[in-house]
Structure 1
């Protein structure tokens, strides 16, 4: 369902629209929760990149996505050992 929302938003909202970014953030979290770590990290990297162009460095949304990405990467690294 969330993938469908993201697909529809991709057709009707600008790439940097906050609602679209929020849905992509949520989808990355869902991927991660389902064990699709690579897919989750790739999508969250994209979200963080776009947010870096849209929001100032101290914007809460940008900070949250950056922190989630950092945590995803850290946990992926931990699972390698």
Structure 2
């Protein structure tokens, strides 16, 4: 992260937006990627390196019964 910017007092909304953009543009691509990705643990999905299913239907049945609904692996039949 390149330069240091300092401002005394409150920024206007437009100044804040400009500051945010200039701050983001001063970063390298690697820094943008590092700051843009958030690592999270996904329950059940992360507890094994891989799983093998005979059919897609087997996978869908497993996902519907084993994964939390908020992950989006469910079907409304």
Which has the larger Rg?
2
TM-score by length of 2: 0.31
Bigger fraction of residues in helix: 1
